[in-house]
Amino acid sequence: MAKLAAVFPGQASQYVGMGKEFYDKYSFVKDIFGKANEILGYDIKKIIFEGPLDLLTQTKYTQPAVFITSIACFKVFTSLFSLRQPADSSLISFAAGHSLGEYSALVSAEVLTLEDGLKLVNKRAELLQESCEKTKGSMLAVLNAEKNVVDEICSESGKSGVCEAVNFNAPGQIIISGETAALKKAAELAKSKKIKTIPLTVSGAFHSSLMKDAAVKMAEELKKYTFKNPKFPVITNCDAEITTDSSVFAEKLTKQIASPVLWIDSINKIISQNCNTFIEFGPKTVVSGMIKKISKTAETFNVENETTLNNIKIPEA
């Protein structure tokens, strides 16, 4: 069987009703959602399945919701497909997650337990929400522009406030993050250069220096948890490195909060290891779409319901 990489989405992939097919069919998925309700102390299952969407899209609910759904999808896949594997081998060769999705990747690789992963995601969401309310920023997608041009736009717009290139998602898709006035200036500059921009529907300037306060507080929180060596390597957002040492994950998760997501480099790193098949676990296909832009030869699948699960055809090595 060919090498497989498990990839996980971040915030902005959520929708009302995600994961419900698997919840209705598999008892262990019911257990995951039930455990989540207990840990969080509120009915996250109801918010995920019933909405309303404006509630689900609040950072403090979105992040636990996407995390829970992603892990449920991963567990369904492994429960069915692991039967094809020898007992002493792993179905997955690598894992990576985009931003929030990095926590899902760490749980999939058994670096963190589901319970600890959810507690950390919940705390991360709370801290980011606090920072968002204090800093009043947002994010802007810049399309079909070279990095040096985006850097120039950020440098000029930075005179109006924080404006930084933070997510290198795919060729022709760079996300900038910062204060509202600076992003407005950036959009104007891009337009003058005939470059298209799209405002993102997020509540803050994620991965920018405006999140440093959240990063400092998250560093203290991470000290309370135990990290294990991964069952399979995890490629980390902040440096796009293949990571197998449990002692560095807390530091990398801290850095990730206020640093760029090097997604293009992360996917290319996996491909360089002769792994060209990616399975996205969780709502929608945002990550799969990025991967297709990064590599024309990459094969992508996603798991979010029974239809997508049944469509998976794992190639032979």
Enumerate the active-site residues: 99, 207
The CA dihedral of 161, 180, 123, 112, to the nearest 10 degrees, is -80
CA distances from 294 to 52, 61, 181, 248, 284 (A): 34, 30, 31, 27, 18
How far apart (Å, rounded) are the C-alpha atoms in residues 159 and 185? 9
How far apart (Å, rounded) are the C-alpha atoms in residues 148 and 175? 13
- Please report which helix (H) or strand (E) contains residue 38, including its range: helix 27-40
DSSP-assigned beta bridge partners for residue 197: 142
Number of neighbours of residue 289 by Cβ within 10 angstroms: 16
SS3 assignment for 129-187:
HHHHHHHCEEEEEEECCCHHHHHHHHHHHHHHCCEEEEEEEECCEEEEEEEHHHHHHHH
Count of all residues that appear for the chain in the document: 317
Q: Which two tokens stand for residue 109?
A: 């690789």
The residues, ordered by sequence, that sit 6+ positions from 148 with a Cβ below 8 Å of its Cβ are none
Number of neighbours of residue 58 by Cβ within 10 angstroms: 15
How far apart (Å, rounded) are the C-alpha atoms in residues 280 and 35? 23
Range list of β-strands (E), 171-255: 173-179, 197-199, 234-235, 242-243
The DSSP secondary-structure symbol of 19 reads T
